């Protein structure tokens, strides 16, 4: 179930008949420091922006094969949660991507949000998939989020994240209590919201020149289809939101983004 939060479809719009993939890639690069660095590290942007960007790039993209950089999807999910829902990260990506057991899957974002209706703190633990095919992205995302309703995984996540909560994070005191060893796991389970970012090539985007009514209708239908897919497969009581990003071509975004990153590595 989605609770009060609505699923969304995002598009960087079109310009002179072309889908603005460079604008989207540039926008994600702007969000890279926010996704990769701790709050005190981001302060260096004011004095040493080039050095700080280089640090963020190495933190996230220090791999030999650029084609394996799924982290672009993670930054997209991070930015979408921040901008569309007002969430905030409560532990640095460096820490929540660590694993004490290689068989246990990590989450792609660890954010927090105070629900304006209930006043209760929500833990946004999400997954991003950047694929050429929407159906495959949905299937892989479902496989990745399944541990989020399994007690064994949640116990390990609690043990890993608890000691790493940023003291400068919003709601740090309540978060420290939530992830404390003596606090019941039920307190975490009750607060989880799973944002699922599905960013994949979409034929109507490839064939469109503007966000006209016909195009918007096809995107809305795809969002509803994706929403229904997860509603039918996620256990009752598990809250989630879908963030659909119908791409013209994921390879274009990756190429443009990777070129910017490579200049800092």
Cβ 98 vs Cβ 163: under 8 Å: no
pLDDT at 95: 60
pLDDT at 96: 60
3-state helix, strand, coil in the chain (%, to 5): 50, 15, 30
Cβ 136 vs Cβ 112: under 8 Å: no
Considering only CA atoms, which of 149, 52, 34 is closest in space to residue 92?
34
pLDDT at 45: 63
Cβ 48 vs Cβ 124: under 8 Å: no
Instruction: Enumerate the β-bridge partners of residue 128.
Output: 197
Query: Could you read off the pLDDT tens digit of each residue along the chain, which spans 265 residues?
Result: 455 799 999 999 999 999 999 999 999 999 988 888 777 777 666 667 777 778 878 777 755 555 555 689 999 999 999 999 999 998 876 566 655 444 345 789 999 999 888 888 999 999 999 999 999 999 999 999 999 999 998 998 898 888 888 777 789 999 999 999 999 999 999 999 999 999 999 999 999 999 999 999 999 999 999 999 999 999 999 999 999 999 999 999 999 998 888 887 7
pLDDT at 48: 72
| Distance, CA of 98 to CA of 157 (rounded, Å) | 10
Q: Which pTM was predicted? A: 0.90
pLDDT at 64: 57
* Helix H or strand E segment including 50: helix 49-61
């Amino acid at each position: 179930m989605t609770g009060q939060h609505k699923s969304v479809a995002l598009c960087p719009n079109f310009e002179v008949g072309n889908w603005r993939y460079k604008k989207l890639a540039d926008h994600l690069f702007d969000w890279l420091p926010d996704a990769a660095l701790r709050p005190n590290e981001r302060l260096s942007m004011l004095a040493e922006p080039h050095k700080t960007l280089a640090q963020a790039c190495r933190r996230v993209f220090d791999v030999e094969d650029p084609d394996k950089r799924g982290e672009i999807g993670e930054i997209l999910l991070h930015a979408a949660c921040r901008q569309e829902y007002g969430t905030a990260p409560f532990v640095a990506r460096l820490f929540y991507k660590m694993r004490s057991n290689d068989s246990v899957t990590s989450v792609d974002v660890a954010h927090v949000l105070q629900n304006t209706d209930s006043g209760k703190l929500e833990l946004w633990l999400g997954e991003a998939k950047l694929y050429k095919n929407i159906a495959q992205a949905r299937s892989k995302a479902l496989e990745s989020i399944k541990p989020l309703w399994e007690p064994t995984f949640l116990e390990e996540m609690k043990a890993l994240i608890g000691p790493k909560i940023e003291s400068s994070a919003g709601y740090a005191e309540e978060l420290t209590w939530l992830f404390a060893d003596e606090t019941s796991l039920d307190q975490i389970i009750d607060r989880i919201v799973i944002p699922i970012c599905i960013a994949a090539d979409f034929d109507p985007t490839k064939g469109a020149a503007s966000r006209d009514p016909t195009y918007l209708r096809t995107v809305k239908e795809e969002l509803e289809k994706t929403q229904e897919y997860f509603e039918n497969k996620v256990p009752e009581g598990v809250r989630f939101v879908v963030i659909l990003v119908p791409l013209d071509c994921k390879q274009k975004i990756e190429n443009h983004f990777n070129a910017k990153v490579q200049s800092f590595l």
